[in-house]
Chain A
């Protein structure tokens, strides 16, 4: 049971019950404000009937030509509101917006070790498109999966033909710049 609404600056003061979760990163303000200013419709929040923040999704749309796509930057659901299909609801929302923006596909990066999340994305129709080496830095660097789902504009599903070779961060940056 959810109210879906755009994430606002004021929510930054109230999202602690979600962000205290160890897998949810609290970023610097400029990160949030950049997303809010540039892709306001891609930053949505799910609110409970009692007004609590249950979770939110943060994303963007970018790329050229047939690489024009929606991207999920962060998706998080408070521990109290798990197993209610909330993540799917938020993902649907982002896919829907991306459809309306005529994007070819939606993609996201996920830790290779985060099996729970990978399975969930698979259930939502995402495939492992490629591996990005050492995407997550930390005590121990970790690889990421780049997962993708084609949207209706990609009639021939060209965007979801998997790469067999893993790519490095450098190659990734190079690609995004083009």
Chain B
């Protein structure tokens, strides 16, 4: 090593300024500092590596690549240089390079623990379990620590259950058997030390279905000593698979005696009772069948009778027993009592807690619709609040709320005539106001109002009415009510979520944005909750507004993508064997999140739609995106649905809600939408690439690091274009055949329709298909060019007309209902402008290219043309003129769109709301500001959108003006 003789302290002092500048993001200065240092010490590896890092950060990939490559070829062994290099390779996702780096370093310093540990982790990053195993053993040899030994054990396990050979049962068996023997050898030598090691041994046994051995170990002395905190659920699981129901039953009785509110224990306990019933009859058997279940009932009753403080546990367990007995056609009523009475009893004991609704809901599906509705009425009666009375106290109010929620779940409201529903809504509103003024004062800002659930229910009811009438009035009133509630109880996120939904339904993006910000969604919530806002933004009417929201989300994803492998490395560092598979799966889920992929794609489309600079700047924006259309980068079969759909509370009739189907249908459709959008972008990119071939400089960021040959760019671009164009029309054909149904909009909390039907309905397919032909013809100068110009021109007219007509319709709708169709109208306008904007950018690129080439007469191009069999290609000059003609036409149509948008009226809001407000007994000044604020939000939202769309058009008009 060049600097080995040098004093390390001196060395570090010299490097310090580079590190410091990198740390604060001053990459230019860091580069200068490194160059300065390298002038004095040209061979100093770490300084060279840091220079590579600075270049990387400055986006000078090619130079950075060369610089890092040169350092790597010197095969460094010092920690600081290695750290810098692996950091760079991690940034660039060239994980195999890190492996090579440490392989060389280890070769030079065999047995060096630190380097070996780095090598091990670098294999962890690429999930090479076999290599992991080998390195772990070397580590153990170098330094006999338990951690290293067990690193090799888990690496063997992973070869058996996750690695490439895990699909072969014999291989799996061999690996798991080996792992078991490795641990057992360690146990024999008395070297097992930690609970995670004990966990791993149990896990290995369970993976091989050696349950008896696992049981013996778990209940043995060694495990008790090493793993005192072993979850008791491990015992249940083993007793269950071993069929040891009687022992399980006894164990659970003991546990329940000590801990009387544990649902997991009750559930297993009741199951064990039913399993004992099934056991073959042995001696004294005739008694046993009855004995088991009545013992269960007695046991539960005993807990109820002996508990001082009433806990929900045993009561719920009794309902569960009842439900299961009925499912087995056993006489539940006889043994336990009447189901309705049990529920009513439960209600009278616990309905003052808000969880009671969730509890009772668990048992409703097991009884008939008729019984459900009868039960709902009993509960309403039991609550003691009638249509003419008000709750006497907070507890009674909560009971009333619970009874109403359950009534809705039982379908009691859904078939009522509209005037009944309206009366019900009024009652809910009054109950809200009464509860707020009577029991809701002195609320902390962090608390939800106790009567808020009335208002939430009211909003749902108003949606039902709106849907039946196909009118927005009622729902708009609900929105005002929710906004009113939000003023009183600022932390109620249910109110924010429902408001957000309604704002989106009405196309009010500003209101939606406000609610979204109010929810303070961040970090992983951006993934799991993105569906309430981000997923609804594409084509909603604003481009740059939406782009900002994508940005926040993208920041989270890019960050976690970078860190994803370090989380896994962490589990190795702490030897947390119980979490490794979980972390590996989590990584997959996060990186394949549909939200992630959708968001990054829509952000790209958005950037191309809204680019506004001159053609060269726009092209370099485009180049940075490195779309590489030939490559489909989306792992379609791995896409993961990370949405937390349960975060939005609902009490919709259980018999009409199929949450799983809703999840699946919406996810399937979102994937189809993603297909359309991704293909549109890639196809569009081939148009650009044909005229503006991408530079070949940037090294591939993917790990495959395949050699990028300076391919015959034009031919490959043409063939990719043709290929993608076929896929494009093929995809449309398939989607039409699939005949997807729009997502049902039966209830307020249902997901809004996906964009699938919009994209199928609007002329996207033809627009881009014809554009593809135009681009090809322009390139070759084919004789059909003029005809295709005409086609594309006609498409442009059609899209412009679509835009203008939609706005006219929207203005007409304003006379009857300004909100009901608003979102859909805005989507159509946005989609029209999206198509025209992309087209404008394309024309500007074509024009730029053709102007240049018709002036300079590039020889190569003519050569190209000769190879084609067209007799007389249209001259470049003519082509250039044709493009200019298209630009003139587009400019004209864009102006027509702009004129229409100028006339677009803000939505007229429903009738005056004074009666609504009168019911709320509000002070006049509150009333005025509330309605005023909501109305202003709609008005401002519209104006913002119009301004943004007009700016977009202005940019595009400028783009095609020359």
List residues of A whose CB falls within 8 A of some B CB.
1-6, 8-10, 12-14, 16-17, 19-23, 26-30, 33-34, 36-38, 40-41, 47-50, 52, 54, 79-81, 83-85, 89, 97, 100-101
Contact = CB atoms under 8 A, between A and B. Distances in A.
A83 B351 CA distance: 12
A169 to B, nearest CB: 23
Interface in B291-329: 311-313, 316
A50 B362 CA distance: 7
A20 B647 contact: yes
Contact of B523 (A21, A28, A101): A28
Contacts of B414: none
B264 A10 contact: no
A26 B524 contact: yes
Nearest to A9: B586
B567 interface: yes
19 contacts: A1-B261, A1-B266, A3-B267, A4-B262, A9-B585, A17-B646, A20-B647, A30-B566, A33-B570, A34-B570, A36-B579, A49-B316, A49-B362, A50-B359, A54-B355, A79-B354, A84-B312, A84-B355, A100-B228
B567 A30 contact: yes
A132 B280 CA distance: 65
Contact of B262 (A2, A48, A81): A2
B362 A13 contact: no
A172 to B, nearest CB: 24
A40 B585 CA distance: 16
Interface in B601-657: 642, 644, 646-647, 649
A3 B649 CA distance: 21
A79 B228 CA distance: 33
Contacts, number: 136
B525 A19 contact: yes
B491 interface: yes
A108 to B, nearest CB: 19
A85 B316 CA distance: 17
Contact of B446 (A3, A23, A97, A100): A23
B359 A49 contact: yes
Contact of B529 (A16, A22, A28): A16
Contacts of A2: 261-264
A177 B361 CA distance: 51
Contacts of B233: 5
Nearest to A32: B524
Nearest to A102: B228
Contacts of A36: 576, 579, 582-583
B287 to A, nearest CB: 32
A26 B519 CA distance: 12
B355 A17 contact: no
Contacts of A20: 493, 519, 647
Given A16-B647, A23-B446, A80 B524 contact: no
A16 B528 contact: yes
Contacts of A83: 353
Interface string B207-232: 00000000000000000000011010
B253 interface: no
A148 to B, nearest CB: 22
Contacts of B361: 50
Contacts of A28: 523
A40 B491 contact: no
A3 B646 CA distance: 18
A111 B589 CA distance: 35
Nearest to A36: B579
Given A1-B261, A14-B528, 20 more contacts: A1-B266, A1-B313, A3-B264, A4-B264, A5-B231, A9-B586, A9-B589, A14-B644, A20-B647, A21-B491, A22-B446, A26-B525, A27-B523, A37-B567, A40-B576, A47-B263, A48-B355, A54-B355, A79-B354, A79-B448
A83 B571 CA distance: 36
B150 to A, nearest CB: 15
B311 A1 contact: yes
Interface string B526-569: 01110000000000000000000000000000001001001100
Contacts of B362: 49-50
B522 A26 contact: yes
A13 B644 contact: yes
Which of A10, A29, A89 has the most CB atoms of chain B within a 10 A radius of its CB?
A: A29
B523 A80 contact: no
Contact of B570 (A3, A38, A48): A38
Contacts of A50: 358-359, 361-362
B921 interface: no
Contacts of A80: 354-355, 358
A84 B642 contact: no
A129 to B, nearest CB: 25
B578 interface: yes
A37 B524 contact: no
A20 to B, nearest CB: 4
Contacts of B579: 9, 36-37, 40
Contacts of B353: 83-84
Contact of A1 (B312, B446, B519, B567): B312
A30 B563 contact: yes
B586 A10 contact: yes
Interface string B111-126: 0000000000000000
A74 B386 CA distance: 43
B582 A8 contact: yes
A13 B642 contact: yes
Given A21-B491, A29-B567, A100-B229, A48 B574 contact: no
Nearest to B577: A40
A9 B582 contact: yes
A27 B523 CA distance: 7
Contacts of B195: 41
A19 B589 CA distance: 20
B263 A49 contact: yes
Contact of A29 (B358, B446, B523): B523
A1 B491 contact: no
Nearest to B309: A85
A12 to B, nearest CB: 5
Contacts of B313: 1
Q: Which 9 A-B residue pairings sit nearest by Cβ, starting from the closest?
A: A9-B586, A20-B493, A3-B264, A16-B647, A37-B570, A33-B567, A1-B312, A100-B228, A22-B491
A80 B493 CA distance: 12
Contacts of A4: 262, 264
